[in-house]
Chains A and B, each alone.
Chain A
Amino acid sequence: MDLNILWFILIAVLYVGFFFLEGFDFGVGMLLPFLGKNDNERRAIINTIGPHWDGNEVWLITAGGATFAAFPRWYATMFSGFYPALFLLLLALIIRGVSFEFRSKDTNPNWRSFWDWTAAVGSFLAAFLLGVAFANLAKGVPIDAKMRFTGTLWTLLNPYALIGGLSNTAGFLLIGAIFLSLKTSGPLAERAQSAARKLWIPAVVLILALLVTTYIYTDILAHLGVDPGVIPIASFAALLLTGYFIYRKQNGWAFGMMGAHLALTLISCFQIMFPRVMISSTDPAFSLTIYNASSSPYTLKVMSIVALIFVPVVLAYQIWTYWIFRKRISTKPKDLTY
């Protein structure tokens, strides 16, 4: 396997890790004002992701950095081409992050309620825009012979991308609700459970819509064939199983299945792209690939050595912190003190 393929996989892994981990905390953010009926409950909801959210966000930063290092032309074309969308994504991430940190530091109910809503809106916007971005990557965008994006913001907001955005939002909401049903207790956990039950239906409808439109808007037929292979099918099966486990109240399993669904869906997206990294809808010959967009072999080699040493270390300590915070969080005020 050459290093270009290795880096494509590594970047895919980073984005998948980001979707898997941030997915539920975006969902938790969106659900915050709806499921938390009083201040203690809202605090408990934030505490379920409190120790993790900024560590999870680093997955996105690392994915961005890895794209820059391994495929600078991909980074340049995508980040400049998606300028307005990324600007909104940045604002959403900023507002969401500071909301979690600021909201409890003043006792004024208006102050708290304000930051609860900014957390929800920021989480929603980020989830939606990430879906839009990846749908566009699968579908292809106008790129000229000089690897320049020639569209506008409106090019990016096409029907397929909007379905991608909505479907991603629904998926994040669902996994957020399942996560809360696992990590909280009492009436809050029950409310989260019933939210998960209700959210499963739109998630399935939207993923079906995404599936059908994928055959219309992307070159999946030419690229992968009618039978797309095991990954997309497993992804859909995982979503169905999520529903089954929610119904059986086996939330641990439901969480695992939903995580697998999000991961496999994104992997399917990378499968459609491979070996291209930005598909040109202007002319297939103008597409950016893992070869014409990559760094020099020397840089790829250096970065591979660094990654092989440090990625396992990072994974080990991130897993360790999840292990330490594995217990449920109660809503009793005394337990919320740290």
Chain B
Amino acid sequence: MLPVILSRLQFALTTVYHFFFVPLTLGLVWFVAILETMYVRTGDETYKRLTKFWGKLLLINFAMGVVTGIVMEFQFGMNWAGYANYVGDIFGAPLAIEALLAFFLESTFLGLWIFGWDKLSKKLHAAVIWLVAVGSSLSALWILIANAFMQHPVGYVLNNGRAEMVDFGALVFNPKAWIMFEHTLASGLTTAAFFILGVSAYHLVRKQDVEFYKRSFSLASIVGTIAIVLVIIGGHEQGLWLLKNQPMKAAATEALWETEDPASFSILTIGDLSGRREVWEIRVPRVLSFLYYNQFTGEVPGMDDLQEEYQMKYGPGDYVPLAVFTYWGFRFMVASGFAMLALAGYTLYYVMRNKVGPQIRWLGLFVFTIALPYIANTSGWVLTEMGRQPFIVYGLLKTEDAMSPGLTSGMILFSLIGFALVYAALMGADVYLLTKYAKAGPAAAETESAALE
């Protein structure tokens, strides 16, 4: 296989894997911060137990995010030296700032939080977890600012054969970055909420520690409902942004080949093996126009027309992304999102009537719906990044021109297999531990000596 394909596979593998852990950390840390604050304010020991229990699951997950994160930073240079040379003047800045502002904050204070229970006052200890929460959200913000430049380059000029920064403010306030930040942070909170709902449901069904898990369930229900609504609003904003700035990606999420006005929404399209032509489909007329324009008319350009337009703009080449990934990525994401909205609303109904407990109907189902946010997070990123192809920086640099010179397929294959094996083994160990502690409940988090880190 070509080095560029292998490098993309490796980047996809390591990124998807990394982002398997990140959203839970991003959301769960806020829950832990809220719980510890409740403990400090009320002095209620149950809140302390809640803090320690969910804190422990946070920590198991956090370590995985840290170690897989280093790989991300190194890979831009290892596999994509052409990219690093071309945009390093701009792209390196948010990465360095992320490390300086965010990574130091979260990792230093997390270490302090874990080992500092009897070394800091109650209030100071609670303040420390808030700093960790701020740190991890800041880290999300800066990496999204970097990613937003790849989606929508701003604040640069082309000079000396590379893109050079001329406006740091434009880079930081790239509208794409802030839409993504809202969407990502809310997704993190949703992920954590469904994680907590699932683990709590597991114990409530078995009538273990009912009071303890009732509180967890209720908090997750309230935060989760708000968060999933924000995710959907942010997602809709992203769609509107796409139509204006990345029409090809917008068309590819709908498998829309010809421009339509009014445009129909695809419920189901089955493509042929190349993923380039549909063989069978169901479409609802006018709905796509409605989604984009809030009225039942409005033009949505199709991929065939955009291909011609892009060739005029960027020169000869194939500008159509692999629609099978964008199309299905979008559908998996949206289906999971609305399923979560319904489920969160369902739990909120019990919370509002103060009827949370083992008697909730279909409670056991929530153990399995932990998978939903993970499906949505992964497919959302597959859509975002695959839909950008063939560009690595939209409109500026193609992925095939961004490679490191001198890398052979053999070298990349070797590292790809190495990462895959080690990551698979770690995934096994991590899921084993998370399951073990989630099932064991709060007692294990308290009695087991020295294990809380």
Return chain A residues, CB-CB under 8 Å to B79.
Answer: 80, 83
Q: Are A338 and B453 in contact, CB atoms less than 8 angstroms apart?
A: yes
A78 within 8 A of B: yes
Interface Cβ pair total, 8 Å cutoff? 237
* Contact A61 to B103, CB < 8 A, known contacts A47-B450, A72-B89, A79-B81: yes
Interface string of B403-418 (1 = CB under 8 A from A): 0111100010011001
> For residue A34, which residues in chain B have a CB less than 8 angstroms away from its CB?
none
Within 8 Å by CB of B111, from A310, A321, A333, lies A321
Q: How far is the CA of A87 from the CA of B10 in the complex (A)?
A: 12
Binds A, one of B65-73, B302-310, B346-354: B65-73
Q: Is A283 an interface residue (CB 8 A)?
A: no
Check A69/B95 contact, CB under 8 A, given A55-B104, A93-B67. yes
Given A76-B85, A83-B411, is A70 in contact with B92 using a C-beta cutoff of 8 Å? yes
* Residues in chain A near residue B73, CB distance under 8 A: 61, 64-65, 68
CA distance A338 to B452 in the complex (A): 7
Asked if B406 contacts A148 (CB within 8 A), the reply is: yes
In the complex the two chains form, is B78's CB within 8 Å of A87's CB? Answer: yes
Residue pair B96, A296 in contact (C-beta under 8 Å): no
- Answer whether residue A281 sits at the interface, using C-beta atoms and an 8 A cutoff: no
Q: How far is the CB of A205 from chain B (nearest CB, A)?
A: 33
Q: Is A145 an interface residue (CB 8 A)?
A: no
Chain A residues within 8 Å of B411, by CB: 83-84
Verify B407–A80 contact, CB threshold 8 A: yes
B67 touches A98 (CB 8 A): yes
* CB-defined contacts of B450 to chain A, threshold 8 Å: 43, 47, 104, 333, 336-338
**Is A3 interfacial (CB 8 A cutoff)?**
no
Contact B70 A69 (CB under 8 A): no
Other-chain contact of A336, B63, B85, B91, B449 (Cβ < 8 Å): B449
In angstroms, Cα B115 to Cα A155, docked, is 44
Is B84 within 8 A of A79, CB to CB? yes
8 Å CB interface, A133-159 against B = 146, 148-150
Which residues of chain B are within 8 angstroms of A307 by Cβ–Cβ distance? 100
With A and B bound together, what is the CA distance between A104 and B448 in angstroms? 9
- Give the distance in Å from the alpha carbon of A137 to the alpha carbon of B145 in the complex: 32
A98 touches B115 (CB 8 A): no
A338 touches B97 (CB 8 A): no
B415 touches A87 (CB 8 A): yes
> Does chain B have a CB within 8 A of A2?
no
- The answer to the question of B36 belonging to the interface, with a C-beta cut-off of 8 Å to chain A, is no
CB-CB under 8 A from A338, the residues of chain B are 114-115, 117-118, 450, 452-453
CB of A1 within 8 Å of the partner chain: no
Contact mask B384-424 → A, CB, 8 Å, 1/0? 00000000000000000000111100010011001100100
What 0/1 pattern do residues 73 to 89 of A give for CB contact below 8 A with B? 10111111101101100
Closest chain B residue, CB of each to CB of A337: B449
Let me know if B279 is at the binding interface, CB within 8 A: no
Which of chain B's residues 117-133 have a Cβ closer than 8 Å to chain A?
Answer: 117-120
Q: Is the CB of B103 within 8 A of A58?
A: yes
**Measured between alpha carbons, how far is A53 from B95 in the docked complex, in Å?**
21
What residue of chain A has the Cβ atom nearest to residue B449's Cβ?
A337
Residues of B within 8 A of A69 (CB): 88, 92-93, 95-96
Per the 8 Å Cβ criterion, residues 311-338 of A in contact with B are 311, 314, 317-318, 321, 324-325, 333-334, 336-338
> B449 near A314 (CB under 8 angstroms)?
no
A148, B85: Cα distance in complex, Å = 11
Residues of B within 8 A of A296 (CB): 89, 159, 164-165
Q: Is A222 an interface residue (CB 8 A)?
A: no
Query: Given A54-B107, A317-B108, are A94 and B78 neighbors across the interface (CB < 8 Å)?
Result: no
Q: Which of A194-218 contact B (CB under 8 A)?
A: none
Would A314 and B104 count as touching, CB distance under 8 A?
yes
- Check A333/B449 contact, CB under 8 A, given A57-B70, A75-B92: yes
**Interface assignment of B364: CB less than 8 Å from any CB of chain A:** no
| Cβ-closest chain B residue relative to A303 | B93
Say how far A117's CB is from chain B's closest CB, in angstroms: 14
* A51 and B111 within 8 A (CB): yes
Residue A302 interfacial (CB < 8 Å):
yes
Smallest Cβ-Cβ distance to B68: which chain A residue: A94
Question: How far, in whole Å, are A308 and B246 apart by their CA atoms in the complex?
Answer: 38
Report B41-70 CB contacts with A as 1/0, cut-off 8 Å.
Answer: 000000000000000000110011011111
Q: How far is A13 from B77 in the complex, measured between Cα atoms in Å?
A: 21
- The answer to whether B433 and A325 touch across the interface, beta carbons within 8 angstroms, is no
Q: Are B422 and A91 in contact (CB under 8 A)?
A: yes
Do B422 and A94 touch across chains, with their CB atoms under 8 A apart?
Answer: yes
Tell me the nearest residue of chain A to B423, going by C-beta. A94
Contact with A along B428-445 (1 / 0, CB 8 A): 011001001100000000
Determine the chain A residues whose CB is within 8 A of the CB of B89 once the complex forms. Answer: 72, 295-296, 299
How far, in whole Å, are A45 and B415 apart by their CA atoms in the complex? 32
Query: Nearest CB to that of A94 among chain B residues?
Result: B67
Q: Closest CB of chain B to A320's CB: distance in Å? A: 9
Given A61-B99, A84-B411, A101-B453, is A148 in contact with B78 using a C-beta cutoff of 8 Å?
no
Query: B101 near A: Cβ within 8 Å?
Result: yes
> Within 8 Å of chain B (Cβ to Cβ): is A241?
no
- Assembly CA distance A50 to B76 (angstroms): 30
Bound CA span A330–B377, Å: 44
Q: Is B112 an interface residue (CB 8 A)?
A: yes
Residue of A nearest to B73 (CB): A64
Q: Are A72 and B85 in contact (CB under 8 A)?
A: yes
* Docked pose: A302 CA to B449 CA in angstroms: 48
Whether B273 is near chain A, meaning CB under 8 Å from some CB there, is: no
Q: Does B317 contact A (CB under 8 A)?
A: no
Flag if B84 contacts A72 (CB, 8 Å): yes
| Residue of chain A at shortest CB distance from B103 | A58
Neighbouring B residues of A317 by C-beta, 8 Å? 104-105, 108-109
* Residues A79 and B77 in contact, CB atoms below 8 Å apart: yes
22 contacts between A and B (CB under 8 A): A50-B115, A51-B115, A52-B111, A57-B66, A64-B74, A67-B92, A72-B85, A76-B82, A77-B81, A79-B84, A91-B418, A94-B67, A98-B426, A105-B436, A296-B165, A310-B100, A317-B104, A324-B116, A325-B119, A337-B449, A337-B450, A338-B450
Residues of B within 8 A of A (CB): 59-60, 63-64, 66-71, 73-74, 76-79, 81-82, 84-85, 88-93, 95-101, 103-105, 107-112, 114-120, 159, 164-166, 168, 404-407, 411, 414-415, 418-419, 422, 426, 429-430, 433, 436-437, 449-453
7 closest Cβ pairs, A-B complex: A72-B88, A79-B77, A69-B92, A68-B92, A80-B404, A65-B96, A80-B81
Known: A43-B450, A69-B93, A324-B116; 8 extra A-B contacts, CB below 8 A, are A80-B84, A83-B78, A91-B419, A97-B67, A98-B63, A105-B437, A295-B89, A299-B164
